[in-house]
């Protein structure tokens, strides 16, 4: 195999991986604040993409995306207030069932609001056919957008959680809800806020991947599965780890494609996930144990 | 006491009415079932099919129905899922007692239903393309789209004209994709084409650069993509983005302008075999399909405000064949109607001219295809 080809595989891995990574980040926000895995995260992506696509003909693209991010964030708030806020100390299983139910609800509702047609946002720069040469191999400029947006999201989120009062309160709420409440933190509003943030970020991710993957009412599930894989693989709670894991899975899949028939791609990535869950359940890059007993998730 | 009896009697009536809804004047209608992927990944196929049937049945009923009876259409949405298709088929056959079933939309579903319909002696007219649906022939199963093998040969012929001899193929992991793979692999040698690589991909994936890198490494002169999913739009985009500039051929599954629209500029120049519906306006007035194609296109586009697609046409043909057979048989007896379908000759439909026989349950020839391309975002006859 020539160097050109090796590089093309690597870039194709980065292409797929960047999409996984940006999805994976969304899982982390809700998890960081509440210890809940929100299985409706994929639907937030779909909603963001759909709303932006509907607004794109009447608004300039950046405005349409901003409006979609805000609107999806409000849907996140609504979902949390209506379905989740009244639960006191929900069991993990119950939360899983509720969020899966929510994902089905949002999916079917979107089927009625929009329809079954496949849509896509225009490419942020260039068009379907433009590509950028990287040392003899080629890649779509949209991938650079996705990677850039992921980087900004991760950096922003890390700074927010570490240095702002609200961010610190969210972390406190996640590590011990009762203690946080005793310190005077209003934990219920924080959880609502975390859903806003996760939905909004999911929407932004949904807009970023839309030109590549196209947007359809039922796209959420398959994206969420891969995004969740990466979030777990990296170590739940850390967005940097999710991005690293996303790129790793993408590149490993590309490597598997280069030597095995394509059909084995998912076997390779899910096999790695299983191995990680057996031997390093806290995730590849996590410093503290995320799945420790006594904490939901 | 009398009151209790009255209430009990009313209760019994309600129960009876709900248990036997078929009592009311049922003999005056002809029931036709349809199992279509109205939603789900194959919705670009299933929705135009169900819309077409709805339109045709309404028109037929306005014109007095079939044999003087009204037609009742029952559409079930299988979402392209074979398990759902089977349970709907049983429901339609056993509870609704329909005359025949039109559909399913996809090849995978049709293959799952083939055995059930043949064993239970029920008429199935599939709207799916895979060759295996009618080869080997099952006595009770028919299909309206053109054969995969015709499509493969059309593609190979076009390649030969362009001087292409070494190609790669990517197909989706669905019944349709697998059917295409089998025909491409079988027919390539006898057409002088070297199939350097064939890869099967996950139909729901959103990015195919990995597999296309592998195909590119084989130094192929052209790529064939064989699927009915949104992948048909993503594969051409990915190829352009990675600088893989060879001619792209797609299957007859590309016959919905939405796929070309979703691929935007990347769709320009894609070549694919297709029935004449999409280029109806370009046909000479003397062509036997011209009148039917123009009328269907006009009626569909006026009513549903969207471009007509070949898939709706497959449902059109299924309904046409069924109603012609009922008229010819002069009865709604299943055995007589089935025999009548097998005896239909020279019937002009949207996909071509149908001539059935006991050995041929598709009834079309290679002549039913034209090679089309995408030009300035619209379908056009290739090389014209």
Element (H, E) at B70: strand B70-77
User: Is B93 within 8 Å of B122 (Cβ atoms)?
Assistant: yes
Measure the CA–CA gap between B176 and B251, rounded to whole angstroms.
10
Say if residue B264 is in the same domain as residue B333.
Answer: no
Chain A contact for B266, CB < 8 A?
A: yes
What pLDDT score was predicted for residue A255?
86
Mean pLDDT calculated for residue range B130-137? 90
Element (H, E) at B379: strand B378-381
**Which residues in chain B have Cβ-Cβ distances shorter than 8 Å to A15?**
207, 209
Say if residue B134 is in the same domain as residue B169.
Answer: no
User: Is B278 within 8 Å of B372 (Cβ atoms)?
Assistant: yes
**Which residues in chain A have Cβ-Cβ distances shorter than 8 Å to B236?**
128
Contacts of A146 (CB under 8 A, 6+ apart): A18, A19, A22, A208, A209, A212
Tell me how many domains chain B contains.
Answer: 2
Measure the CA–CA gap between B229 and B43, rounded to whole angstroms.
9
User: Is A236 within 8 Å of A297 (Cβ atoms)?
Assistant: yes
| Residue B119 binned pLDDT confidence (cut-offs 50, 70, 90) | very high
What pLDDT score was predicted for residue B23?
43
Contact B207 A13 (CB under 8 A): no
Mean pLDDT calculated for residue range B218-233? 91
Chain-centre distance for alpha carbon B352: 13
Measure the CA–CA gap between A267 and A260, rounded to whole angstroms.
11
**Which residues in chain A have Cβ-Cβ distances shorter than 8 Å to B262?**
118-120, 214
Token reading at A56: 């794109």
Q: Please report whether residue B75 resides in a domain.
A: yes
Contact B214 A222 (CB under 8 A): no
Contact A139 B241 (CB under 8 A): yes
What pLDDT score was predicted for residue B75?
96
Tokens 């309600």 belong to which residue? B14
Contact A12 B217 (CB under 8 A): no
Beta strand spans in B104-158 (E): 123-126, 141-143
What pLDDT score was predicted for residue A287?
57
Say if residue B142 is in the same domain as residue B166.
Answer: no
Task: Calculate the average pLDDT of chain B.
Answer: 89
What pLDDT score was predicted for residue B20?
46
Top pLDDT among B334 and B8 is at B334
Say if residue B74 is in the same domain as residue B90.
Answer: yes
Q: Please report whether residue B33 resides in a domain.
A: yes
- Provide the residue range defining the domain that includes B234: 148-274
**Which residues in chain A have Cβ-Cβ distances shorter than 8 Å to B306?**
none
Q: Please report whether residue B283 resides in a domain.
A: no
What pLDDT score was predicted for residue A296?
36
User: Rounded to a whole number, what is the distance in Å from the CA of A10 to chain B's nearest CA?
Assistant: 9
pLDDT at B384 over 90: no
What pLDDT score was predicted for residue A241?
87
Nearest CA to A64 among A206, A177, A173? A206
- Overall pTM > 0.80: no
Give 3-state DSSP helix, strand, coil % of chain B, rounded to 5: 50, 20, 30
Contact A258 B213 (CB under 8 A): yes
Mean pLDDT calculated for residue range B68-81? 93
Q: Please report whether residue B383 resides in a domain.
A: no
Say if residue B155 is in the same domain as residue B135.
Answer: no
Per-residue CA distances from A100 to A95, A104, A128, A220 (Å): 8, 6, 34, 11
Q: What is the 3-state secondary structure (H, E, C) of B350-362?
A: CCCEECCECCECC
Tokens 């192929």 belong to which residue? B220
User: Is B340 within 8 Å of B325 (Cβ atoms)?
Assistant: yes
User: Is B33 within 8 Å of B76 (Cβ atoms)?
Assistant: yes
Say if residue B167 is in the same domain as residue B237.
Answer: yes
Say if residue B157 is in the same domain as residue B254.
Answer: yes
What pLDDT score was predicted for residue B176?
86
Nearest CA to A218 among B325, B119, B203? B203
What pLDDT score was predicted for residue B293?
94
Measure the CA–CA gap between A238 and B131, rounded to whole angstroms.
51
Nearest CA to B108 among B176, B167, B210? B176
Q: Please report whether residue B1 resides in a domain.
A: no
pLDDT in tens, chain A (297 residues): 677 778 888 888 887 888 888 888 888 888 877 777 888 999 999 999 999 999 999 999 999 999 999 999 999 999 989 988 887 777 778 888 888 999 999 999 998 898 877 888 899 888 888 888 877 778 888 888 988 998 898 888 889 888 999 888 888 887 787 888 888 888 888 888 888 988 998 999 899 989 888 888 888 888 888 888 888 888 887 888 888 999 988 888 888 888 887 778 778 878 887 888 888 877 777 655 444 433 333
Chain B contact for A125, CB < 8 A?
A: no
Question: DSSP readout, B270-337?
Answer: -EEEE-GGGGGGGS-TTSTTHHHHHHHHHHHHHHHSS---HHHHHHHHHHHHHHHHHHHHTS--HHHH
DSSP state of A295: S
What pLDDT score was predicted for residue A293?
38
| Residue B27 binned pLDDT confidence (cut-offs 50, 70, 90) | low
CATH of the domain at B69: 3.40.50.2300
Minimum Cα–Cα distance from B264: chain A residue: A128
Contact A5 B266 (CB under 8 A): no
Final residue in a domain of this structure, among B274, B303, B336: B274
Say if residue B254 is in the same domain as residue B297.
Answer: no
**Which residues in chain B have Cβ-Cβ distances shorter than 8 Å to A214?**
206, 230, 233-234, 262
Task: Give this complex's ipTM.
Answer: 0.74
Say if residue B40 is in the same domain as residue B106.
Answer: yes
B224 forms bridges with which residues in the sheet?
B169, B249
**Which residues in chain B have Cβ-Cβ distances shorter than 8 Å to A129?**
237, 240-241, 264-266
Q: Give me the residues of A, 72-101, that contact B with CB < 8 A.
A: none
A170 forms bridges with which residues in the sheet?
none
Look at the alpha carbons of A119, B231, A202, A161 in this order and tell me if their dihedral is positive or negative: negative
Q: Please report whether residue B170 resides in a domain.
A: yes
Q: Please report whether residue B354 resides in a domain.
A: yes
Of chain B, the percentage scoring pLDDT greater than 90 comes to 70
Write phi, then psi, for B91 (nearest 5 degrees).
-60, -45
Say if residue B136 is in the same domain as residue B157.
Answer: no
Say if residue B125 is in the same domain as residue B155.
Answer: no
Tell me whether the omega of the peptide bond preceding residue B305 falls within 30 degrees of 0, making it cis. no
User: Rounded to a whole number, what is the distance in Å from the CA of A87 to chain B's nearest CA?
Assistant: 33
Say if residue B45 is in the same domain as residue B142.
Answer: yes
Token reading at B12: 């019994």
Nearest CA to B214 among A267, A257, A13? A257
Which three-class secondary structure state does DSSP give residue B234?
Answer: helix
Beta strand spans in chain A (E): 132-134, 137-139
What pLDDT score was predicted for residue B196?
94
Q: Please report whether residue B314 resides in a domain.
A: yes
| Residue B127 binned pLDDT confidence (cut-offs 50, 70, 90) | very high
| Residue B225 binned pLDDT confidence (cut-offs 50, 70, 90) | very high
pLDDT at B30 over 90: yes
């Amino acid at each position: 195999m020539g160097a050109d080809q090796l590089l093309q595989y690597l870039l194709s891995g980065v292409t797929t991986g960047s999409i996984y990574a940006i999805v994976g980040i969304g899982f982390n926000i809700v998890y960081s604040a509440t210890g809940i895995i929100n299985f409706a995260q994929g639907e937030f992506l779909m909603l963001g993409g759909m709303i932006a696509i509907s607004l794109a003909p009447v608004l300039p693209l950046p405005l349409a995306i901003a409006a979609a991010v805000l609107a999806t964030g409000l849907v996140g708030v609504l979902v949390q207030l209506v379905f989740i806020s009244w639960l006191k100390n929900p069991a993990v299983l119950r939360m899983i069932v509720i969020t899966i139910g929510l994902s089905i609800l949002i999916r079917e509702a979107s089927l009625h609001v929009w329809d079954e047609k496949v849509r896509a946002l225009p490419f942020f720069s260039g068009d379907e056919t433009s590509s950028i040469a990287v040392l003899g191999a080629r890649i779509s400029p949209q991938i650079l957008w996705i990677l850039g947006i992921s980087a900004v999201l991760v950096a922003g989120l890390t700074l927010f959680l570490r240095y702002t009062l609200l961010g610190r309160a969210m972390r406190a709420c996640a590590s011990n809800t009762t203690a946080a409440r005793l310190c005077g933190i209003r934990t219920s509003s924080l959880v609502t806020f975390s859903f806003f943030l996760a939905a909004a970020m999911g929407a932004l991710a949904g807009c970023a991947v839309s030109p590549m993957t196209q947007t359809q009412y039922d796209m959420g599930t398959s994206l969420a599965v891969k995004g969740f894989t990466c979030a777990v693989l990296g170590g739940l709670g850390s967005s940097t780890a999710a991005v690293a894991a996303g790129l790793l899975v993408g590149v490993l899949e590309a490597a598997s494609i280069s030597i095995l028939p394509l059909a084995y791609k998912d076997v390779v990535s899910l096999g790695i996930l299983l191995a990680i869950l057996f031997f390093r359940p806290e995730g590849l890059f996590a410093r503290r144990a995320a799945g420790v007993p006594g904490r939901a998730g | 006491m009398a009151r209790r009896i009255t209430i009990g009697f009313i209760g019994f009536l309600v129960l009876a009415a709900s248990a036997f809804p078929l009592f009311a004047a049922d003999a005056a209608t002809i029931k036709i079932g349809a199992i279509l992927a109205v939603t789900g990944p194959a919705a670009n196929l299933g929705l135009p099919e169900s819309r077409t049937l709805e339109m045709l049945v309404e028109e037929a009923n306005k014109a007095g129905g079939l044999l003087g009876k009204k037609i009742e259409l029952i559409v079930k949405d299988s979402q392209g899922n074979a398990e759902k298709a089977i349970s709907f088929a049983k429901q339609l056959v056993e509870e609704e007692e329909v005359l025949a079933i039109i559909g399913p939309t996809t090849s995978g579903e049709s293959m799952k239903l083939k055995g059930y319909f043949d064993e239970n002696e029920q008429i199935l007219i599939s709207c799916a393309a895979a060759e295996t649906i009618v080869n080997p022939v099952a006595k009770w199963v028919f299909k309206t789209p053109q054969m995969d093998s015709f499509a493969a040969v059309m593609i190979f012929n076009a390649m030969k004209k362009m001087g292409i001899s070494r190609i790669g193929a990517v197909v989706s992991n669905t019944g349709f994709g697998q059917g295409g793979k089998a025909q491409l692999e079988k027919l390539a040698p006898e057409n002088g084409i070297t199939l350097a690589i064939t890869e099967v991909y996950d139909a729901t994936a959103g990015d195919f650069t990995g597999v296309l890198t592998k195909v590119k490494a084989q130094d192929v002169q052209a790529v064939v993509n064989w699927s009915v999913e949104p992948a048909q739009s993503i594969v051409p985009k990915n190829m352009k983005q990675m600088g893989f500039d060879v001619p792209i051929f797609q299957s007859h599954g590309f016959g919905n302008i939405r796929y070309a629209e979703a691929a935007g500029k990347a769709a320009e120049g894609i070549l694919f075999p297709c029935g004449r519906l999409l280029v109806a306006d370009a046909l000479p007035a003397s062509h036997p399909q011209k009148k039917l194609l123009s009328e269907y296109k006009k009626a569909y586009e006026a009513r549903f405000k969207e471009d007509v697609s070949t898939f709706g046409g497959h449902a059109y043909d299924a309904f046409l064949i069924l109603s012609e057979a009922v008229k010819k048989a002069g009865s709604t007896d299943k055995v007589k109607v089935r025999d009548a379908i097998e005896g239909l000759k020279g019937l002009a439909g949207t996909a071509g001219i149908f001539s059935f026989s006991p050995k041929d349950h598709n009834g079309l020839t290679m002549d039913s295809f034209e090679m089309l391309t995408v030009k300035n975002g619209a379908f056009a006859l290739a090389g014209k």
